[in-house]
Amino acid sequence: MVLGLIIRRMFFLIFVLIALSAITFTLMRLVPSDPARNIAGPRASPEAVQKVREDFGLDEPVLNQYVNYMTGIVKFDFGTSLVSRRPVSDDLRRYLPATLELAFLSLGFALVFGVPLGVLSAIKKDSVIDAFGRVVSVLGLSVPSFWLAIVIQFIFFARLGWFPDGQRLPIGTDPPRTITSFYTIDSLLTGNFGTFFTTLEHLALPVLTLGFISLAPITRMMRSGMLEVMGQDYIRTARSKGLRQNTVVTRHAIRNAALPALTVIGLQLGLLLAGTLLVEIIFSWPGIGRYAYQAIQNQDPNSLISVTLIIGAGYVLVNLLVDVSYMFLDPRIRVS
């Protein structure tokens, strides 16, 4: 039954990706501008443009173009980037780890601070901590990520000078030998502690920005989950057995409140993949977000659509994982 769900969701994933690629492909071809002209450049001769058109298969019927495009995607061939002149798949392999490292650490930050804040807000309802938690969650929901990034960069880089303004490592520093492509893990594995700390310094500001934004929904969900659980009969039973408050909260309440929060956490990881986009621009972070931004600036549809597809696929995949882990964590769902 778990397997059945996974298979069904995998089909949905494929279906959604086909649909999205169809939408974006149609949009691309609806645009009045000539893609061949874009590739060849504004000063190219008509013959050169014609050659590009033939080379890239742009003279074929639109449906054939779409089929070609889709067959390419299945083989992880996303076409050539106009900016880097490399295959888009190479670029993605190069930039995706930077985005993932940033997203994972930001989610970690949000969990480390958001879960306790939500729990404390609930068990000390209407206290100072609760008010603080509420302010943090309203601000986190409302602040534009790109603006928060600039403010944080201004304070901690321009004014205080505590952290660097961007990039994964200072210019001229060699990245650690590639094992996982996550600089933090690679530098530790290769025993390069200097690089490890430099990497952390560079991660600090973007992680603070994105972590703060994901903190809000996690705090909110944890708080309302805890409030609901704390009113249940089994909590009263646990109390009347004479268990201490700490035991009731940690052993009985949090475990049950964490389940609904899990959905939100999964959703946040998916949203972080998209959220890094704006923040990467500010911190010159060499991830797929900045890559997409450059693609927009240079009207490079192949790269942009590939990033859209990758983020979309990641989002659907994370949600699938959340649903599956739900079943392992909550036996009630497994049985029904």
Partner 1 sequence: MSSTTGSVATTESLADAGQGRARASRSGVRYFFRRFTSESPLNVVSLVIIVVFLILCIGGNVLAPYDPLQASASDRLLAPSLDHPFGTDEIGRDIMSRVMSGARYSLGIAFLILVIAIPVGTLVGVVAGYAGSLVDELLMRLTDIFLAFPAIILAMAIAAALGPNLRNTVIALTVVYWPWYARLVRGQILQIKEQDYVEAGKALGVTTPRLVLRHILPNSIAPIIIQGTIDIGFAVLATSSLSFIGLGAQPPTPEWGTMITNSRTYFRVAWWYFTFPGIALMLTVVGFNLLGDGLRDYLDPRTRGS
- Positions touching partner 1 (CB under 8 A) are 12, 15-16, 19-20, 23-24, 27-28, 30-31, 138-139, 141-147, 150-151, 153-154, 158, 224, 227-228, 270-271, 273-274, 277-278, 281-282, 292-293, 295-297, 301, 304-305, 308, 311-312, 315-316
Residue type, 74: V
Burial 126-139 (b: 16+ CB within 10 A, else e): eeebbeebeebbee
Residue with Cβ nearer partner 1 (49 or 230): 230
First to last CA, the chain: 10
Between 131 and 329, whose beta carbon lies closer to partner 1? 131
CA–CA gap between residue 132 and residue 155 (Å, rounded): 22
Nearer to partner 1, 98 or 304 (CB): 304
Q: Cβ 141 to partner 1, closest distance in Å?
A: 6
CB 270, min distance to partner 1, A: 6
> What's the CA gap between 228 and 148, in Å, rounded?
32
Task: Give the CA distances from residue 174 to residues 3, 178, 246, in Å, rounded to whole numbers and listed in that order.
Answer: 44, 11, 48
Report the candidate in 93, 101, 307 with the shortest Cα–Cα distance to residue 202.
101
Cβ(239)–Cβ(138) below 8 Å = no
Q: Residue 152: what residue type?
A: I
The least CB distance from residue 103 to partner 1, in Å, is 12
Q: How far is the CB of 266 from partner 1 (least distance, A)?
A: 13
Tell the smallest beta-carbon distance from residue 328 to partner 1 (Å): 23
Q: Which is nearer to partner 1, 7 or 329 (CB)?
A: 7
Q: Is the dihedral of CA 41, 47, 49, 51 positive or negative?
A: negative
> Residue type at 15?
F
Q: How far is the CB of 33 from partner 1 (least distance, A)?
A: 8
Nearer to partner 1, 202 or 290 (CB): 290
Q: Which is nearer to partner 1, 19 or 329 (CB)?
A: 19
